[in-house]
Structure 1
């Protein structure tokens, strides 16, 4: 009987741990380009997010809010697994996104 309990716990833990990956794949607000967040070019990330946000009719906020929200979600959820250099690329993508939407850069 203990083997079954262990298997259930492991399955439950795995499903809880993978929820953010599922959100990234099945986001109802934006149709993201595959593996866009793995790019090393902040401008490419920003332009892809902008294109996805402008094209989407399912988003709740403005295109800028949706794009920035998805980028922040990825940074926050993947944060501990990101290298410092890739986190810098994603932070730079935030500024590129602000520029793309004619918002003041920080």
Structure 2
């Protein structure tokens, strides 16, 4: 999905992507915003996969031993916080790039 939006396969819409006032202002703003956010979105999904794999590995390792360790829950919570932080940073970066793209088109970037 990230690749499709970042590479222009999915245009401006109301269902998928980073939808801020600035990114929705024009097709150019949509593209610029998603291109700028692409590295952060990659980091977000890789972090989510890593946290999930770590949770599964911990659950498999601790279950047979009968351990009541909260490690898997802690990893899951930390992974969720990290993913949310990365998605927030991606949205901020996309919004900033979309505003800049709107300004270069002669549009008001604060719409």
Please give the TM-score of this superposition, normalised by the length of structure 2.
0.30
Report the structure, 1 or 2, having the larger helix content.
Answer: 1
**Which protein has greater RCO, CA pairs closer than 8 Å, 6+ apart?**
2
| Higher Cα Rg, which structure | 2
